[in-house]
Amino acid sequence: MTREKITMTRKGYDKLRETLEYLQTTRREQISEYMGSALADGDIRESAAYDEARMQQSENEARILELEDQLSRAQIVEEGSQTGIGLGAKVRVKDAKGNERDIEIVGTYEADALKGKISDHSPLGQALAGHGTGDMVVVNLPKGQQKFTVISVKYD
C-alpha cells in the first residue's frame, strides 16, 4: 500500500524535525524524571502523580510516532519552484470590501489560521494556486462565494 505524500515547505519540515527531536530527548527526560519522583513517593497503585506521568509518556510516544510518520511521507516543495502562487508564497490579498490581509501558503500540517498560514488544500489556498499579482480569484466558502484580488506575491 502506497502512503500518501505530504507536501510541505522546508521551514515546515525543519520545524517538525525540531519538534520530534525535542520530544525524543528533552520531553522524554522530563517525563522520566517526573515518573521517577512519583515512584519515589511510594505506593504506585494509588499514585495520581504516577498515573499522570504514564499518561504523559503515552501521549508523548504517540506524538513521536505521528511526527515520524509525517516526516517519512514529507515531500518538500521548494519555495518559488511553482509557477505563480504555491507553497511558501507570502500573498497580500484584498477582498471585495477593500480589506487587505497577508497570508502564507503552507502544507496542511503547517496551517495556522491565527498566524495567517493557510493550507494549500484550503478553499482559498486552492483558489490562489498558480495565480499572480493582479489576478482576481473566486473562493467558494460556507457562507457563499467571495472574491479576492492578489495585491502581491513574494517568496523569502
Q: What is the mean pLDDT of each run of 10 residues along the chain (156 residues)?
A: 78 92 96 85 72 92 95 82 82 94 91 92 92 93 91 89
Residue 81's contacts (CB-CB under 8 Å, 6 or more residues apart) are: none
Q: How far apart are the C-alpha atoms of 156 and 145, rounded to whole Å?
A: 30
Name the β-bridge partners of 75: 7
Domains and CATH numbers, the chain: 6-76 (1.10.287.180), 90-154 (3.10.50.30)
Which single residue is written with the C-alpha cell 525535542? 22
Query: What's the pTM value of the predicted model, to 2 decimals?
Result: 0.69
| pLDDT reported for residue 150 | 96
Other C-beta atoms closer than 10 Å to the C-beta of 113 total 10
Q: Kindly state the cell numbers that stand for 141.
A: 466558502
